[in-house]
Amino acid sequence: MNVSSFIAKRYLFSKKSRNIINIISFISFFGLLISSAALVIILSGFNGIQSFVEEMYGTYSADIFITPKKGKSIEASHAIFEDLEENKNVLQFSKIIEETALIKKEDLWVTSKIKGVDTSIYSHSFFNKSIIEGGGMLYETYKKPMVLLGHELQYQLQVSSNPNYNNDIEIYGLSRKKKLSIQNDNLFNHYNISVSGIFTMNPELDKNTIFAPYDFVNSLFEYDNEATSIEVNSSNIKKLKELLANNYSDEFKIETNEEKNTMIYATNETEKWMVLFVLIFILMLSTFNTMASITMLIIDKKKDINSLISIGSKYSTIRNIFFKEGLFICLSGSFVGLTIGVIICLLQNHFHFIEMKNAAINYWPVLIKLSDIILILLILLIIGISASFIPSQILMKRLLKNK
């Protein structure tokens, strides 16, 4: 250990002649502790929410969405279907029919979005992860079609998925082939169908979505095997999207899941960085206490400085004493705060102290990222070095000029 480090440590732990210096040093230490702990906790909280949102909108979603730019549907004979069949980067794809339907259960009527899907993507295992009541099947024994309801829609219709009760609903769909007319009272096709299960995926789907077999919805709305969109799962999303965009960008809008939900992902990311900048500003304010502490310490230790000068100590050695004193205060407060912040996050993950009632998740999710910890350490180091260097450099120069 060199002389400047030894003296700096002695100054850090020794009692100062003026008690106010001890108080300001403690305030500085405590302020940095709170600020660095807050940085870890709040950034980890945003990471947890972002991870949960990505899971909500990613787990129950395809990788790529293809929708027509003109018109409402894609013809069954379109070349894109053959290209998707032959492409090695395509894991599965599903023709989708998405329409608005009227749902009737006894005296209750509800307007809902109905999504006709095939089982290539929307398999039994896909739905099983989200089912909270009943099963995740779109077909019963002997290929009898069934539907899945969002849990909020189930509440509106007061219907059960239990076959021991009356779990049938009536679905009305406006025929595409019949002319709209006041005299025509047969515009709607309608079928009775059983509810297989109740799901919870994300607020949008839970509120007003029914999943049904593609063939059933195709027949209900008389689509002639056309599709309103195509959903694709891919082993190489970027490559497949580029290929499809090159061939079909004039006809279709081709989006990845992230692009489709840009607003959701971007909003959370923007909020995270805005909060980070606010916390950095607060952290910078707390370092003024460190600067004040070093300034007062330099004034308090004038005799010691004169003694060191008289025995031949260099200016840089004396400056480093006070620079390291400030650095010790900043780093000790920062590292203790980081440790406390990480511990609080780990405890929240395990014990769920902070609950979220009436939300999609029962507790506030927390995710600690190594990249965030490294970023916080760099920020704390830069602020700590600046807060220690400025007063030690400026004041020491002034003191030596006055000599």
CA distance to 62, 135, 252, per residue, from 126 (Å): 11, 11, 26
pLDDT at 7: 60
Most confident among 315-319, 325-329, 331-335 (mean pLDDT): 331-335
CB burial of residue 91 (10 Å; 0-12, 13-18, 19+)? middle
Residue ranges per structural domain of the chain: 3-58+264-401, 93-231
Winning range, highest mean pLDDT, from 184-198, 349-363, 365-379: 365-379
How would you write the chain as a 3-class SS string? CCHHHHHHHHHHHCCCCCHHHHHHHHHHHHHHHHHHHHHHHHHHHHHHHHHHHHHHHHHCCCCEEEEECCCCCECCCCHHHHHHHHCCCEEEEEEEEEEEEEEEECCEEEEEEEEEECCCCCCHHHHHCCEEEECCCCECHHHCEEEEEEHHHHHHHCCCCCCCCCCEEEEEEECCCCCCCCCCCCCEEEEEEEEEEEECCCHHHHHHEEEEEHHHHHHHHCCCCCECEEEEEECCHHHHHHHHHHHHCCCEEEEEHHHHCHHHHHHHHHHHHHHHHHHHHHHHHHHHHHHHHHHHHHHHCHHHHHHHHHCCCCHHHHHHHHHHHHHHHHHHHHHHHHHHHHHHHHHHHHHCCCECCCCCCCECCCCCCHHHHHHHHHHHHHHHHHHHHHHHHHHHHHHHHCC
Q: Is the pLDDT of residue 321 over 70?
A: yes
Higher pLDDT, 82 or 29: 82
More confident residue, 143 or 374: 374
Question: Can you give the pLDDT at residue 16?
Answer: 52
User: pLDDT above 70 covers what percent of the chain?
Assistant: 88
Q: Which amino acid is at 301?
A: K
**260-264, 305-309, 316-320, 383-387, range with greatest mean pLDDT:** 383-387
